[in-house]
């Protein structure tokens, strides 16, 4: 049954998106590892983790699109789930340092030695094992989203009020993680990673492997989201988005559908955060900043919410533009981002993909109408004879 549902997610346009992502997962590492530096198709070493970061952002935008584009839940706190997944991976990477840290302590990370911790906190136990860290990457964001959604959706909090409390959630987490006594490195966060699964994290091969893992994870997330939105469950989610009260009156337990979408989306965001951390080399409380979550909304809006592929395109384009723009005019980037959001809202309310799909559908409709009129003109003389 699960296989059938996943195959449903590969129908139509989804198959092409997955094929492109799989090709990228192979082509970029190959161009980096196999082609010589002087080759025109060679991908520089510094460019591989940058592209990998874009893919993790694309996965985060895709996760948001599942709840915003198809369930009508505008979350301004999805950066929190991204950061929680990142911290879970960061804790594993910190435990791998061992006695190679500045203070050469075999168990405690450097910041704990500096802050005079006597022993490893209980919530750090088990993070020396990759399988446990991977489990926490999924479990912690999912559990936080489930508990938050349980109370919010059962209380029938909707609209702008729900958006505000999601923003309050990520802000509260940011303030908590900034505290040194929380045991997560305070404002410095977690950094100076050495190994991942026994491989040097800074090596060219490891970075290529992390990029490929990000592309494969994005492809899998896209298939899962496509399977959900094309199923009966997805149809009910769209009904909740378009007419929640009417859907409730028809007998559906709206809270359950919203809770499922919100939790599944949080899990995907957590996985994206876990892939992000080893590629950028740091995770700190700044990732919880509400501005980051708002930026994710802009990515989805630019690409086109409710399209799945749109947020992926939007995340890559906006962040590529950010890398270029901040290199030339760093002090004006936020103005440019705000102007982009206003322009998209006014002139491309359906986003890039939505506008393209609408234009393409209108063009096909005009062609079909023209063919029908031409057929009618050829039939009339025959009828007269």
Residue-range definition of the domain harbouring residue 6: 2-294
Does 375 reside within a domain? no
Whether residue 344 is contained in a domain is answered as no
- Inside any domain, residue 376: no
CB half-sphere exposure, 125, CA atoms < 13 A: 5
CA 257 remoteness from chain centre: 20
pLDDT for the residue 7: 59
Residue 185 lies in a domain: yes
Contact 337, 295 (CB under 8 A): yes
* 171 Cβ neighbours under 8 A, 6+ residues apart: 288, 290
Domain assignment present for residue 13? The answer is yes
Rounded Cα gap, residues 164 and 157, in angstroms: 10
Per-residue pLDDT tens, the chain, 385 aa: give them.
556 655 565 666 788 999 999 999 999 999 999 999 989 999 999 999 999 999 999 999 999 999 999 999 999 999 999 999 999 999 999 999 988 988 989 999 999 999 999 899 999 999 999 999 999 999 999 999 999 999 999 999 999 999 999 999 999 999 999 998 899 999 999 999 999 999 999 999 999 999 999 999 999 999 999 999 999 999 999 999 999 999 999 999 999 999 999 999 999 999 999 999 999 999 999 999 999 999 999 999 999 999 999 999 999 999 999 999 998 888 888 899 889 889 888 888 889 988 887 676 666 667 777 777 777 666 555 544 4
Domain count for the chain: 1
> What is the Cα–Cα distance from 282 to 192, expressed in whole angstroms?
7
**Cα–Cα distance measured from residue 338 to residue 142, given in angstroms and rounded to the nearest whole number:** 31
Q: Does residue 132 lie within any of the structural domains? A: yes
138 found inside a domain: yes
Identify whether the C-beta of residue 69 lies closer than 8 Å to the C-beta of residue 307.
yes
Contact 74, 162 (CB under 8 A): yes
Residue 377, in any domain of the structure: no
Do 138 and 270 touch, CB atoms closer than 8 A?
Answer: yes
How far apart (Å, rounded) are the C-alpha atoms in residues 312 and 308? 7
Q: What pTM was computed for the model?
A: 0.92
DSSP codes joined into one string, 46-70: THHHHHHHHHHHHHHHHHHHHHHHH
């Amino acid at each position: 049954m699960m296989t059938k549902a996943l195959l449903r997610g590969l129908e139509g346009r989804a198959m092409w998106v997955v094929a492109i992502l799989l090709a990228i997962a192979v082509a970029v590492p190959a161009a980096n590892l196999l082609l010589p530096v002087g080759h025109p198709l060679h991908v520089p070493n510094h460019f591989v983790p940058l592209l990998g970061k874009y893919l993790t952002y694309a996965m985060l935008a895709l996760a948001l699109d599942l709840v915003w584009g198809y369930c009508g839940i505008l979350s301004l706190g999805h950066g929190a789930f991204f950061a929680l997944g990142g911290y879970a991976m960061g804790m594993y990477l910190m435990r791998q340092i061992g006695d190679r840290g500045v203070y050469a302590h075999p168990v405690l990370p450097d910041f704990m030695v500096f802050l005079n911790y006597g022993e490893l906190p209980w919530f750090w136990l088990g993070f020396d094992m990759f399988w446990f860290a991977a489990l926490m990457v999924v479990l912690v964001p999912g559990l936080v989203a489930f508990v938050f959604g349980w109370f919010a959706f059962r209380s029938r909090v909707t609209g702008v009020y729900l958006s505000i409390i999601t923003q309050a959630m990520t802000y509260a987490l940011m303030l908590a993680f900034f505290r040194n006594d929380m045991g997560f490195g305070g404002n410095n966060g977690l950094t100076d990673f050495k190994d991942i699964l026994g491989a040097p994290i800074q090596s060219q091969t490891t970075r290529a492997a992390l990029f490929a893992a990000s592309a494969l994870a994005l492809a899998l997330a896209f298939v899962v989201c496509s399977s959900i939105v094309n199923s009966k469950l997805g149809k009910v989610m769209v009904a909740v988005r378009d007419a929640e009260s009417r859907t409730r009156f028809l007998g559906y337990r709206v809270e359950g559908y919203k809770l499922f979408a919100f939790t599944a989306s949080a899990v995907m965001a957590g996985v994206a955060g876990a892939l992000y951390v080893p590629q950028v080399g740091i995770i700190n409380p700044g990732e919880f900043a509400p501005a980051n979550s708002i930026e994710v909304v802009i990515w989805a809006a630019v690409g086109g919410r409710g399209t799945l592929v749109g947020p992926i395109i939007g995340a890559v384009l906006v962040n590529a533009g950010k890398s270029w723009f901040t290199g030339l005019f760093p002090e004006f980037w936020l103005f440019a981002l705000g102007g982009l959001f206003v322009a998209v809202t006014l002139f491309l309310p359906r986003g890039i993909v939505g506008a393209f799909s609408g234009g393409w559908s209108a063009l096909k409709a005009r062609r079909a109408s023209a063919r029908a009129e031409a057929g009618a003109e050829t039939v009339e003389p025959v009828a007269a004879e």
